[in-house]
Amino acid sequence: MARKEQDEPQQQSLTEATAAGGIPLPRLSESGPEGPVPVAQPGAAQGNEPEVPRRKRKRRTKEEMAAATAKDAPAEPGAEDMDRTKLALKATFQGLGSLLARKRGEHWAFTSEEADTMAGAWTAALAPYLPRIGAAVPWAAAAAITWTVLQPRIEQDARAAAAKRLISEVGGTTP
């Protein structure tokens, strides 16, 4: 019943506007049938759900981050880490040398002494960074060695596929 009473003044204002100007224009107020209409804030939850406050993350200062990094990582790599890195790099250089030797000629194959010398030099150069990347060196070496083993086989497959295409285009039989 309350709704019907609220509609009557609106219809009365509609008829007054029509009589005055010919075009029916309702008089609108700033409040709706139940009072003022709340304006939704951006990012606010819609409906009757309570808004959950967002947690603000405390940002760390540069000093705090440096202290945490220094606490987590040893100051210098240990002898075992250096030996492991040198061994991984030596195997990587030997594998890459053998791959290059297959492609470019035997003069690209590294001797064990050459690979050891290069591995020692790179281990010394990487020593300051080993506390941060220490675990990555053996993984990178393993990936490089795997590539040197797999790449010639992949290339051989590509050559075999190209030979089959060539034979089929010419009209011959495939072996």
Q: What angle do CA 35, 38, 42 make, to 5 degrees?
A: 175
Binned at pLDDT 50, 70 and 90, residue 116 comes out as very high
Domain range for 109? 77-170
**Residue 134: pLDDT over 60:** yes
For the chain, give the percent of residues with pLDDT over 70.
65
Closest CA to 97 of 107, 86, 87, 88: 107
Return the pLDDT at 41. 59
- The residue ranking higher by pLDDT, 81 or 116, is 116
Does a structural domain hold residue 86? yes
Query: Mean pLDDT for the chain?
Result: 75
Question: For residues 52 and 80, what is the distance between their CA atoms, to the nearest angstrom?
Answer: 51
Binned at pLDDT 50, 70 and 90, residue 120 comes out as very high
Q: How many domains, in total, are found in the chain? A: 1
**134 within 8 A of 81, measured Cβ to Cβ:** yes
Question: For residues 125 and 62, what is the distance between their CA atoms, to the nearest angstrom?
Answer: 27
pTM of this prediction? 0.45
Does a structural domain hold residue 55? no
Instruction: Residue count of the chain, please give it.
Output: 175
Question: For residues 29 and 16, what is the distance between their CA atoms, to the nearest angstrom?
Answer: 16
Does a structural domain hold residue 84? yes
Residue with tokens 């200062």: 61
φ, ψ (nearest 5 deg) of residue 31 = -105, 145
Mean pLDDT of 97-122: 90
**114 within 8 A of 66, measured Cβ to Cβ:** no
Does a structural domain hold residue 22? no
Does a structural domain hold residue 98? yes
**Residue 58: pLDDT over 90:** no
Q: What would the pLDDT profile of 71-107 be if each residue is shown by its tens digit?
A: 655 567 788 888 888 998 898 899 888 888 888 889 9
Binned at pLDDT 50, 70 and 90, residue 112 comes out as very high
Q: Specify the DSSP class assigned to residue 23.
A: S
